[in-house]
Amino acid sequence: MDLSSINPVLLVASIMVSATPILLAAIGEMVVEKSGVLNLGVEGMMITGAVVGFAIAVNTGAPGWGFLAAACASAALSLSFGVLTQFLLSNQVATGLGLTLVGLGLSSLIGKPYEGMKSPTLPKLDLGPLSDIPVLGRMLFSHDIMVYFALALVAGVWAFLKFTRAGLILRATGESHDSAHALGYKVVRIRLAAIAFGGACAGLGGAYLSLVRVPQWTEGMTAGAGWIALAIVVFASWRPWRVAVGAYLFGGVTVLQLNLQAAGANVPVALLSASPYIITILVLVVISARGHHGAPASLGRPFHATT
C-alpha cells in the first residue's frame, strides 16, 4: 500500500463535496423530526431530487434550475407523505418506507432516457483572496456554491430553532402535540411545513449527487445516502451542528476508503466499501448505549385533535 499517494489537500476538499448531499438531507430531516414527524422516505425523496434535477438541468442547460426543480419535486413528494400521515393518520413508518419505494421506482422511470448523458455542473465559486490562500484555499475555499449553502443552512436552522418564536413553536409541537394544540397552535399545519422543508432539502441533496458529485444519472445512485442521513440525525441527538459533524464524518470515511482502495490497501474492497455504513452503525450503537439522548417526545406519534 502506498499511503503517500493520498494527497491530504485533495482528501479534505473531496470530503467537503462528498458530505454535502448527506448534510442537506440530514438537516432537513432533523427539522422534520423536531416537529415530531418521522419521515423514513428520505432516500426516496433524495433520488427523486437527483433525477428531476438532472433532467431539468440537461434540458435547460442551467444547473440552478435543476436544483430548484429538484427541491420543488421532492417537497411535493414529501407532501404526499404529509397528507397521508397528518390528515389520513396513516402509520408514519410504513408510509415513509412506501415513500422510499415510490421514489426509487419513479426515479428509474423518469431517468431512463437520461442514462449515460452528461449534465451541466455547478462552477467552482471564486472567493477571490480566500481561494488563493495556500493549502487552506484549495481545501476549503474552492468549492461550488452548494457546499457553502449547506453549511449556511445548518447555521440558519440552528438560529431558527434557538432564537425565533417560530422555532420555539416547532420544537414545542414535536415535544407535545397535545399541549401545543391546547394552546391553539396548528399542529398539522406546522408539521406539513416542516415535512415540505425536509423534502426540499432532501431534493437538493439528491440533485447535488447527480449534478455535482457524480455528475451523471444512474439508477439507484443515492445508494443508501438517505438512510445514512436518517442515522446522522439520531447520531447528532437532534442538534444542527452535530448533524454537520456527523455528515462530514461519514463523508470523510467514504472518501478515505476510496483513497485507500486507490492506494491498494491490503483489505478486501468489499469491506472497505462497506466501512462507512459499518462505522455509522457502530457510532449509533455507542450513542444509543448512553440512553436518553434528546429525541423529541412526540416523534412518530400520530396526532388527532380530540376536541
Partner 1 sequence: MVDTLLSISGLTKAYPGVVANDAVSFDIAKGEIHALLGENGAGKSTLVKMIFGLVAPDKGSMTWDGAAFAPTKPSDARRAGVAMVFQHFSLFDALNVAENVALGMEDPPKPRDLARQIREVSETYGLPLDPFRTVGTLSAGERQRVEIIRCLLQEPRLLIMDEPTSVLTPQEVEILFETLRKLKSEGTSILYISHKLEEIRALCDEATILRRGQKVATCVPRETTAREMAEMMVGASFATPEAKPHVPGEVLLKVQDLSMPAPGAFGTPLRSISFEVRAGEVLGLGGVAGNGQDELLIALAGERPAPAGSLFLKGQDISAAGPVARRDAGLLSGPEERLGHAAAPDMSLVENGVLTAVRRQEMLRNGFISWGRARGFAEAVIERFDVRTPGPQTAARALSGGNLQKFVVGREISQDPDVLIINQPTWGVDAAAAAFIRQSLLDLASKGGAVVVISQDLDELMEVSDRFGALNEGRLSPIRPVSELDIEKIGLMMGGAHDMEVAHVAE
Which residues form the interface with partner 1 (CB under 8 A)?
Answer: 165, 168-169, 171-172, 175-176, 178-180, 182-185, 291-292, 294, 296-297, 307
**SS3 (DSSP) at 239:** coil
Residue 144, C-alpha cell as written in the block: 461550488
Specify the residue, 79 or 175, whose C-beta has the smaller distance to partner 1.
175
CA distances from 127 to 14, 16, 132, 138, 145 (A): 18, 16, 8, 11, 10
Query: How many Å apart are CA 222 and CA 230, to the nearest integer?
Result: 13
| 184 Ramachandran zone, left/alpha/beta (phi>0; psi -120 to 50) | left
The residue to which cell 422510499 is assigned = 100
Burial category of 89 from C-beta neighbours within 10 Å (exposed 0-12, middle 13-18, buried 19 and up):
exposed
Specify the residue, 172 or 200, whose C-beta has the smaller distance to partner 1.
172
In the complex, what is the shortest distance from the CB of residue 36 to partner 1, in angstroms, rounded to a whole number? 11
Specify the residue, 9 or 93, whose C-beta has the smaller distance to partner 1.
93
- Residue 67 burial (CB count, 10 A): 26
Query: How many Å apart are CA 92 and CA 82, to the nearest integer?
Result: 9
**SS3 (DSSP) at 216:** coil
Residue 90, C-alpha cell as written in the block: 396513516
Specify the residue, 149 or 185, whose C-beta has the smaller distance to partner 1.
185
Query: How many Å apart are CA 262 and CA 188, to the nearest integer?
Result: 50
In the complex, what is the shortest distance from the CB of residue 292 to partner 1, in angstroms, rounded to a whole number? 5
In the complex, what is the shortest distance from the CB of residue 93 to partner 1, in angstroms, rounded to a whole number? 17
In the complex, what is the shortest distance from the CB of residue 180 to partner 1, in angstroms, rounded to a whole number? 8
Specify the residue, 3 or 183, whose C-beta has the smaller distance to partner 1.
183
Specify the residue, 197 or 238, whose C-beta has the smaller distance to partner 1.
238
Residues whose CB falls within 8 Å of the CB of residue 94, separated by 6 or more in sequence, listed in order = none
Specify the residue, 17 or 287, whose C-beta has the smaller distance to partner 1.
287
In the complex, what is the shortest distance from the CB of residue 172 to partner 1, in angstroms, rounded to a whole number? 5
In the complex, what is the shortest distance from the CB of residue 169 to partner 1, in angstroms, rounded to a whole number? 7
The residue to which cell 418564536 is assigned = 165
In the complex, what is the shortest distance from the CB of residue 188 to partner 1, in angstroms, rounded to a whole number? 14
